Amino acid sequence: MDTSATERVAVMAIHPVYADAILQGTKQVEFRKRKLADDIETIVIYATAPVQKVVGEFRIRETVVDAPERIWARYGAVGVIDRHSFGEYYASAVNAVAFVVDKAIRYGQPRPLSELAPSIPQSFYYVHRESSTQVAHGTEMAIA
């Protein structure tokens, strides 16, 4: 069965400084409080205000779930976030999630989120891979 038409990606809202660091290769892990669905291998990056555009994507090499202290010890040096901010973000969390970046791609032309999804994600949401590919290449598409 051909699954390419049903493959999903996650669209994730990321602050511009962190989005740019991922796309430059300096931020090698994205920290979150929740895991993504098991079938997700790609995260499409929506850079939040003031950029407010879909700017690129990255493949997930590995998803690691562990106590925040252990995630910091393992990935803090490549997370492009200071220890204090990390601690505040996970203050009441039992687990932290680290999405290890495999390959990041900056889109040639940042695109409006409206070309991919109807609203801004609070954290993330899922779309079909075909939709994000069309946005990456600047081709027209219909939102279902």
Residue 76's CATH number: 2.30.130.30
pTM: 0.80
pLDDT in tens, 16-43: 999 999 999 999 999 999 999 999 999 9
How many structural domains is the chain composed of?
1
The answer as to whether 25 is a domain residue is yes
The answer as to whether 143 is a domain residue is no
The answer as to whether 15 is a domain residue is yes
Q: Which two tokens stand for residue 82?
A: 């200071």
The answer as to whether 2 is a domain residue is no
Cβ count near 82 (within 10 Å): 10
The answer as to whether 118 is a domain residue is yes
Structural domain including 69 reads 8-136
